[in-house]
Structure 1
Amino acid sequence: MAFDGFDISNPPLDPYSERVAHAFETVGPSVVHITAHNARGRSGTGSGVLFTPDGYLLTNSHVVHGASRLTASLTDGRSFEASLVGDDPATDLAVLRLAATGLPHALFGSSRALRVGQLVVAIGNPLGFQATVTAGIVSALGRTLRASGRLIESVIQTDAPLNPGNSGGPLVDGQGRVVGVNTAMIGGAQGICFAIGVDTAVDVVARLMRDGRVRRSRLGLSGQTTPLDPRLAARLKRQPASAVLVAEVQPGGAAATGGLRAGDLLLRFDGELVANVDDLHRMLTAERAGRASEVEVLRQGRLETFQLTPASDD
């Protein structure tokens, strides 16, 4: 039906709605509903996102951990048995594999490029309602989240509403690229939800697909990505203008033994630039355990260098 030159049966969307709809139409077909069965006959559910056409999918570790059997349902009604490739409780990420080919799959974007205030879309299966989409903005970056007794760093905070069953589903930008994996909400709060950044996920996925697990070394500290004053960044010749702020030092750990303190700005690790927490995670491989490493920090306006020996995370 037309009215004054417009087809009111299919009216144009406003720009905000257009981007949300585009994100959902692009990624929605690759979102799966996961059912995790345990030996006692009970089951739990969550979401996941396919990232290859031959059946590899990404979800949360807490969705699948300890399951004796896993199944995954696609939005087109097909259902498959799923096998666990590997999971990493330290980042609450897991990779599953479906025995199928030619599947719809999403593309990964970058969480490093996210900005506070940017539109994001969460897609999942909350409370069993398949292919549900909610939208919001990036509320904060570089958060630290405690999940299952572990601290997960470099987490995205968003106000895109999540409900039970959303866990493991993708957080998507307006271009239809996966920028995070939805993992948690704060019960009783309004609009405080969290996602693991896709830059962390890409690194973990590669290790899980190669080894079935993630082996690391650790420094015994918690930190958060923090921007640097532009004048300080210029003086230090740093691009991007960010570093890792040491928030807490574990007594007896490698960082404490080596002389690091809360409030230090971690700039370089073994000569490599540390711009964010994801950089540090990638550098702390299992091969560095027991080997002395040089760490450069900014402490009260002065550059200082320390020798740290990361411990094994086994």
Structure 2
Amino acid sequence: MDTQFITFSETPLQPGMMATQDGTLLDAYSNTVVTVAKKVSQSVVQIKVSGRSSTQESAKNNPATRRPPGRGESDGGTGSGFIISTDGYIITNNHVVAGASNIQVSLPDSNEYEATLIGRDPATDIAVIKIYADGLKAIRFADSKQVQVGQIAIAVGNPYGFQYSLTAGVVSALGRTLRSESGRLIDDVIQTDAALNPGNSGGPLVNSNGDVIGVNTAVILPAQGICFAVSSNLAALVAGKLIMHGRVRRGYLGIAGQLINLTERIKQYNQLTTKSGVMVVSVEPDGVAGNSELHEGDIIVEFNGQPVATVDDLHRLLTDDSIGRLTQLTVLRQNRKKGIMVTPGEMK
């Protein structure tokens, strides 16, 4: 019986060929990063803030905005941002500019400009500032829904005041959530191992085309290579509202609530899909919200037909579209389902 061998190449593997192939791959990766660096370099800025009052200690002490010793005023800090329009709009993090009376922007050409705060949103840690300068180059947004785990992620910013530094890695995970300073959850957060340090906050996380897939916002300090960015789709949505209205409008029910677990018996009796709800601890009467039908002790389990299992679910459903609109809540009152009507107001 003849034995036949299958070969995959007519060219025999020569000594050193594997090293050559690895070198080619390395060159391709390096070329990608170098190309991206050149493309985005003129769009990333350094932000210096000063004039925080003593009442803004939480913002000043945020490790992402703290200057290293000897690098700035005791009431100041630095961060990063990126230009999104040729007329001077810049996205950064809320915690970079919160409470600052003076905001200075340094461009890659070393020119400095005083910036105007357009609006900030603590719930997503996004802020927009504006400078008046000529010849600005804007960076583009990518669709963060198309981002995949494992793809190249490149972070650009100004860590510890060192202007324009670049780190590269991959997208480590998608769909993470972060708790913002306002207490709300930030959804669709991108996790990356591209190294971030204090001062990177507000800078762009870009893909291999040099388009923004996220806004760098947080690190886990004791960890290595666990960094987070607000997704580009959320950042673009919030930035648009800040530019148009100076704020992001959100609904408000005028209640204090807490999570409560439901017994299996109550769940089955009321045909509920969730194992918990939001118990109303207190109701603010005659406030900005029409909530007179809500009673202390009610357990909210649905908002306009959508299940509510946690306070975060309620926050997510209280969008600007809900403001001033008569909406049905489903509550458990004395352990029985009851539909009531409320009119969310606008959160101030």
The TM-score by the shorter chain falls in which range?
A: 0.7 to 0.9
Unaligned runs of 5+ in 1: 1-10, 223-244, 267-276, 296-305
1:30 has 2:37 as partner = no
CA distance in 1, matches of 2:149, 2:78: 30
Aligned pairs (5 A) from 1:269-308: 284-292=319-327
Residue in structure 2 matched with residue 301 of structure 1 by the alignment: none
Deviation at 1:149, TM superposition (A): 4.9
CA distance in 2, matches of 1:106, 1:209: 17
CA distance in 1, matches of 2:209, 2:277: 39
Residue in structure 1 matched with residue 31 of structure 2 by the alignment: 18
Classify the secondary structure of the residue corresponding to 1:84. Answer: strand
1:257 has 2:304 as partner = no
1:193 has 2:224 as partner = no
Is the CA contact (8 Å cut-off) linking 2:278 and 2:308 kept in structure 1?
no
Moved more, 118-127 or 146-155: 146-155
Is the CA contact (8 Å cut-off) linking 1:289 and 1:309 kept in structure 2?
no
Superposition TM-score, scaled by structure 1 size: 0.72
Residue in structure 2 matched with residue 116 of structure 1 by the alignment: 149
Based on CA coordinates, which of the two structures has the bigger radius of gyration?
2
Deviation at 1:258, TM superposition (A): 4.0
* Matched residue type, 1:25: K
Is the CA contact (8 Å cut-off) linking 2:258 and 2:279 kept in structure 1?
no
Aligned pairs (5 A) from 1:1-314: 14-39=27-52, 42-150=75-183, 151-217=185-251, 250-252=278-280, 257-259=300-302, 260-262=307-309, 284-292=319-327, 311-312=344-345, 313-314=347-348
Is the CA contact (8 Å cut-off) linking 2:277 and 2:300 kept in structure 1?
no
Is the CA contact (8 Å cut-off) linking 1:142 and 1:155 kept in structure 2?
yes
CA distance in 1, matches of 2:194, 2:275: 27
Residues 248/105 of structure 1: CA separation in 2 closer, same or farther (3 Å cut): farther
Moved more, 249-258 or 42-51: 249-258
* Matched residue type, 1:257: I
Is the CA contact (8 Å cut-off) linking 2:103 and 2:114 kept in structure 1?
yes
State the percentage of identical aligned residues. Answer: 44
CA distance in 1, matches of 2:36, 2:234: 21
Is the CA contact (8 Å cut-off) linking 1:51 and 1:105 kept in structure 2?
yes
Superposition TM-score, scaled by structure 2 size: 0.66
Is the CA contact (8 Å cut-off) linking 1:258 and 1:307 kept in structure 2?
no
Classify the secondary structure of the residue corresponding to 1:14. Answer: helix
Classify the secondary structure of the residue corresponding to 1:58. Answer: strand
* Matched residue type, 1:292: T
Q: Number of aligned residue pairs: give it.
A: 257
Higher share in strand: 1
Unaligned runs of 5+ in 2: 1-23, 54-72, 260-272, 282-293, 331-338
Residues 39/197 of structure 1: CA separation in 2 closer, same or farther (3 Å cut): closer
Is the CA contact (8 Å cut-off) linking 2:149 and 2:171 kept in structure 1?
yes
Is the CA contact (8 Å cut-off) linking 2:301 and 2:308 kept in structure 1?
no
Q: Deviations over 1:217-240 (max 9, x none)?
A: 269899xxxxxxxxxxxxxxxxxx
Deviation at 1:248, TM superposition (A): 7.8
Deviation at 1:256, TM superposition (A): 5.5
Residues 24/307 of structure 1: CA separation in 2 closer, same or farther (3 Å cut): farther
Deviation at 1:147, TM superposition (A): 3.0
CA distance in 2, matches of 1:155, 1:216: 20
* Matched residue type, 1:92: D
* Matched residue type, 2:84: F
